[in-house]
Structure 1
Amino acid sequence: MMDAPVNDLFCYRPRAAWAMTAMLLLLMLVNFLDKVVLGMVAVPMMAELHMSPAEFGLIAGGFYWLFSISAVVVGFVFDRIAARWLLLAMGISWAVLQLPIALAGGAFTILLCRMLLGAAEGPAFPVSVHALYKWFPDEKRSLPIGVIGQGACLGLLMAGLLIPLVSQRWGWRMNFIILGAAGALWSVMWACFGREGRLDERSLQRSSVGVAPARAPVRLPYRKILRDPSVLALLLLGFAAYWMIGVALTWLPAYLEKGLGFSSVNAGRWFGVVVVSVMPVTIGISWLSQRMLAHGATTRQARAQLICLSVMLSGMLFMVLALTGLPAGQKIILFALASALSPVATTMSPVMLGEMVPANQYRAVVSIFTAVGNVAGAIAPAIMGRLVQAYGSTDVQGYEAGFVCGAVLLVTASFVGLRWLYPARSKHALMGETVTAT
């Protein structure tokens, strides 16, 4: 009788779980506003501070220089710290680091602050995913992970609609002041209402492996996990998806304004159109995956093949956009469709990793996945900047050459996934070893 109230703490509680999902959705909204704001103010910032496209691409990529390192470091240590406090520390850091950018008089200050901001934001996604995993069982994870991914879309939508208007009326610097205030507001809300999930990880391990909870603490060498074909395929898919996300966040506004000839306000509106298209596609594919599992599909079918086909179609659409002489409006529509499909790899891959790896190593593995993906975020903007500078900032071919590079990477990653991504096989290979070791 005394155990019942304690055991209830480790049961799935839908209302509380979805309340925390809503809070983390808002966190992702602020997170992606922080990421995209530099790209949205690229044109006036480069003009005022006399930056070349290559210099701006270097600064934009600088956001990711420490991003991956911090994601990995925190991933290995945050099992000792409650996710609630880590998220609060990140929110406060994001708010504080916006202000020096608003007051910056040169490129070095912006580069330094963006590097530190990247370090503070690096662990955000893996910590948020792990925080949700403490609230949802495995069979119910696809949809909430897809939902917090929509915070990114909402942030991008708000950026496209509001940042050009703010820049036009008060100057590009005001955007960073507003973002600092938004980060501070979320931090206050989280300090008041954020809670740590209590869904027992031991029961999750039991449901995944089919062994008693006492066996869950067994650990595998990370070299074995990271050499598994399915894990490697997911790392490549994440790398390719983050490559195109990095390109879009940094260079899409300039592509619309300089390459396709729209005004800054209209470019922001078209940016919003691109972002809106992502939201229903990501949620729809996550929902479809969950429904397929409920109707007896394997995770190979409902997760692996589904995301690989989505990523492949995304790459093909980017190629069509770049290699055909379509009018500007049709190019935006193709870009919107392509951009809506590839991010599925970033939301579904952590779900598959949770299926395959030991529960007590899941946090670190998702952090490695995020870090590897965001290495692409450091490289892609700089390469795009070189291409834009080589062709000229008003020549659409420079931007579209960058899209082709990303498209080739997407198609290659999807073929690798279709060939080697077998979650159930890797689950038995990795989890079976933990059973033997016990």
Structure 2
Amino acid sequence: MNRPYRPARAWLTTAMLFLLVAINFIDKVVLGLVAAPLMKELSLSPAQYGLLAGSFFFLFAVTGVAGGFLANRWPTRWLLLAMAVIWALVQLPIAFGSSLATLIACRVLLGAGEGPAQPIAIHACYKWFPDARRNLPVSVFQQGGVFGMVVAGIAVPWIDAVWGWRTNFVVLAVLGFAWAVLWLAFGREGPLDAHTAATASAARDDRGREAGTLAPAQRVAYRVLLTDRTVVSIIALHFAAFLSLALVLTWLPAYLSEGLGFAPRQAGAVFAAVLLTSAPVSLVLSGWSQRMMARGVASRIARGAFVCGCLGAGGLLLIATSVCDCGQTVKVVLIALAIATTPIIYSLGPAMIAQVTPPAQRGAALAIEYSIAWIAGIVAPPAVGWMIRAAHNNVAVGFEQGLLLTGALLVVLAVVGLKVLNPERSLERLSRHVAV
């Protein structure tokens, strides 16, 4: 049967989501890039700054889950538009606020608005691409995060030097409103879920399954879905990967300048270079996994074992960074390689979640998975701040302790995941618990 896969429109949507994710990650990383002048002007200690950085995630998980359930019922086009407008609005008080309480309140609201962004964007993308084609487009639009952080790494220190750190938040407000206008003009809802729902009855077998997936009209109790071994393993791996991302976003610029001795602008350039190396690696890895799927390799291998191998390698690199007695260049290279291997979970993890979840529940399932994993964003920044304080405000020692713990967790979870990650087995198990 000819399915309504429209490549041109699908990739246009991917391009728009790329820009959205770029803005999303600039929002996240900007605080780390203005950490030094912000802490100096507001007289913040490392622990206070860690609290401010972590505040972005205080409501992140709650609104992420809520947004996922809304995405089960409301068009993703309008949900994404509303989120972009909220992001833009809450940047303005940050630009003019002077107290720690004001900044924390604004970052909490910003995090609440951005909580559902990634899972709803993935859900929107999946409405344009069939399962076998989903690895690469998600990886492509998520490179918007790398692009945004690279742009931020170059532009934010320059804006700070010329106009002051507060101007960055005005710029972010303008970017958010501009994207909202573009999305209103070009954003559309993908047709694949509706088409699948309309034709599912012709393709089901006597147990109600369609072509190796759960039928759109079927539902699985969330208690059953969220306790599946594959789903639990993906959430755990995602959590560990987000720990490393949260460390990079909030503390790597300070580590480069205060720990490794780079000048502020040089630290911003190095930060951008570290992030830039991850883009081609992530795309190659996602494309490799998708080609394996196209050749008929089981998802257990092409997605599950593949992602575990990448995250395990990233964990070993983080451990090496923290324990090796080497120069600044080697440490930067090790961090760059680690950051290049761990983001594969951001595309393959959701693909496996979608593989075992009915389309009618996909938005909520993705949001729950993302929101639990993003709790790492609450934990990591203040934890490293406390480690730095315990090390007598030595940024290098505290940050590298955080890398060591994160790397060890990645390695352990990757080894466990090799044994338990099996989407095909999970799909078979969950299909016995469906309810139309």
In the TM superposition, what whole-angstrom CA distance separates every residue of 1:118-140 from its partner, at most 9, and x where no partner exists?
A: 00000001110111111111111
Q: Is the 8 A contact 2:255 2:395 kept in 1?
A: no
Identity of aligned residues (%): 41
Q: Which amino acid aligns with 1:77?
A: L
Is the 8 Å Cα contact of residues 216 and 358 (structure 1) preserved in structure 2?
A: yes
Alignment deviations for residues 168-216 of structure 1 (CA, whole Å, 9 cap, x no partner) = 1111111111111111111111111111111234627957932799953
* 8 Å CA contact 2:90, 2:106 repeated in 1: yes
Match of 2:245 in 1: 245
- TM-score normalised by length of structure 2: 0.95
Shift, 1:293, TM fit: 1.1
Which residue matches 2:308?
Answer: 308
* Aligned position for 1:203: 196
The alignment partner of 2:374 has SS state of: helix
Counterparts of 1:10-89 in structure 2, within 5 Å, are 11-89=4-82
1:108 and 2:101 correspond: yes
Supply the AA of the counterpart residue of 2:250: T
Deviation per CA, 1:218-250, whole angstroms, max 9, x where unpaired?
A: 211111111111110001001001111111100
Q: CA deviation at 1:337?
A: 0.2
Output the CA distance in 1 between the equivalents of 2:147 and 2:431.
37
* Structure 2 equivalent of residue 166 of structure 1: 159
SS in 1 for 2:424: helix
Is 1:331–2:331 an aligned residue pair?
yes
In the alignment, structure 2 segments of 5+ residues that lack a partner are none
Q: 1:168, 1:433 → 2: CA distance?
A: 59
Deviates more, 1:291-300 or 1:136-145: 291-300
Deviates more, 1:415-424 or 1:214-223: 214-223
Task: Find the aligned partners of 1:348 and 1:56 in 2 and give their Cα distance.
Answer: 33
Q: Give the 3-state SS of the residue equivalent to 1:343 in structure 2.
A: helix
Alpha-carbon distance change, 118 to 212 in structure 1, aligned in 2, over 3 angstroms: closer
Residues 1:236 and 1:213: Cα distance change in structure 2 (over 3 Å): closer
Q: How far has the Cα of 1:142 moved from its partner?
A: 0.6
CA RMSD after TM alignment: 1.8
Counterpart residue number, 1:193: 186
Distance of aligned partners of 1:395 and 1:379 in 2 relative to their CA distance in 1, 3 Å threshold: closer
Superposed displacement of residue 294, structure 1:
1.4
Equivalences for residues 116-135 of structure 1 within 5 A: 116-135=109-128
Which residue of 1 is the match for residue 411 of structure 2?
Answer: 411
* Cα separation, 2, equivalents of 1:284 and 1:321: 24
Distance 1:398 1:324 in 2: 15
How far is 1:78 from its partner? 2.3
What residue identity is the alignment partner of 1:136? F
1:143 counterpart = 2:143? no
- Work out the CA distance in 2 between the residues paired with 1:117 and 1:370: 17
Q: TM-score, normalised by structure 1?
A: 0.95
* 1:253 Cα offset (Å): 0.4
Unaligned runs of 5+ in 1: 1-6
Please list, as runs of the form range in 1=range in 2, the aligned pairs for 1:378-417 lying within 5 A after superposition: 378-417=378-417
Matches within 5 A, 1:340-351: 340-351=340-351
Distance 1:397 1:429, change over 3 A: same
Partner in structure 2 of residue 157 of structure 1? 150
Runs of 4+ aligned residues of structure 1 deviating over 6 Å after TM superposition are 211-214
